[in-house]
Each structure stands twice: as C-alpha cells, then as structure tokens.
Homo-oligomer: A and B are copies of this chain.
Amino acid sequence: MRRLGDLLGVEAMSLYRHVPGREDLLDAVVAAIVDEMQEDPEVIESPRDGWQDFLQRLAHGVRRVALRHPKVFPLVASRPPEAPWLRPPLRDLRWVETFLEALQQEGFSDEAAVSAYRAFTSFLLGHLLLEVSALGADVGPLDVLEDGQDLDTSLAPYPEVGRLRAALSEDHSAVEFEEALEELLNRIALVRSETS
C-alpha cells in the first residue's frame, strides 16, 4: 500500500478512500487480468468453427494473457476462488457460462461439459504456471552451487541429469503446450462421444 501510494504520488492512507484494503486490491488486479482475456478479439471472434476451435482459441488467449503478465499470473492461478465452481485460471462466471454453452450447443451432455471444464482448467493451470514461473526465474544456474563448487562436480552424483542438462534446460513450452492441448481435445472428444 505504501509503495503504491508513493507510485501515485500520495500517502498510503489515501488509498483507503478508494479501496477497502490490500486483499480487495489484489482481487481487483486478478479481475482486470480476467477481463483482459474477455476482450481478446482472437478468442471472442464470433464465427466458432466447432467446439475444438473454440477451446483452441480460448487456450491460446489465456496463454497470451499469462505470458503478458508473468508476475501477476500466479495470483490468477492461486488466489482462493470465490466459489467451488470457479476454477483458476478460468475463474469467472461469464467464462464458465460461455464455456458450458459452447459445448452444449455441440451436443455435449451436462456431465461431459462439466468434466471438460475441469480437465481444461487443470491443463491450463499446470502448463501456464510452469511456463510463467520459468520465465520469472531468470536463474543463473549457478545458484545451486556452494561457494567452492562448480557445476560439474555438483552434478557428479546425478550422471543422467548432468549428461542431459542441456536438453533439460531447453525451452519447449510452446510446442509442449500445443501438443498437450491437442491431446486434451482428443480426450474431451472421447468423453463426449461416450456419454452422448
């Protein structure tokens, strides 16, 4: 609060005229991010070419927002949701409604739509949180080391990690996201046809 006050050229105490407290302010930040997803033209674009197309565009939209705000996304992902049916990062009644409608219009049963919503949010959370945290890490890999050690000797007990450390450090987040998303959509399609 004090820092934000400074940033606005005002004393911290003035903020309490406009906002009940720190927690509500953080909630508002999260809400702003969620709104940003809602305004993405790539996601909202009216002609939906099937539910797969819709979920593809939604997933990519959420990913863009996450990458645009790497510092804030963990908040979107982990603030306690307002209700049990709001799962991060799709923690918004409008999104859940749109999501369910879109799938039901294409013949999903109630249970299939709900289970797709669950699988979809788990997927987004895992991939985007990991991607975003890797971004924020900007960790010189030297942080692991004790004072005298170098990387090779400290990795000596772990030959495979040492041998593959280049491969392990590569960033394949974009293609991984794509492939896992593809796979998720296939799984959802399967559940759809099972229960319909």
| Docked-complex contact A139 and B84, CB < 8 angstroms | yes
Residues of chain B lying within 8 A (CB to CB) of residue A183:
183, 187
- Taking residues whose C-beta sits less than 8 angstroms from the other chain, chain A's interface range is 35 or more
- Specify the main secondary structure of chain A where it touches its partner: helix
Chain B residues closer than 8 Å to A160, beta-carbon distance: 96-97, 100-101, 104
The answer to whether A28 has its CB under 8 Å from any CB of chain B is: no
Interface status of A158 (Cβ within 8 A of chain B):
yes
20 contacts between A and B (CB under 8 A): A80-B133, A81-B139, A82-B143, A83-B139, A85-B164, A85-B168, A87-B130, A93-B155, A97-B159, A100-B164, A101-B160, A110-B164, A111-B167, A115-B172, A115-B176, A117-B168, A118-B176, A119-B180, A125-B125, A183-B183
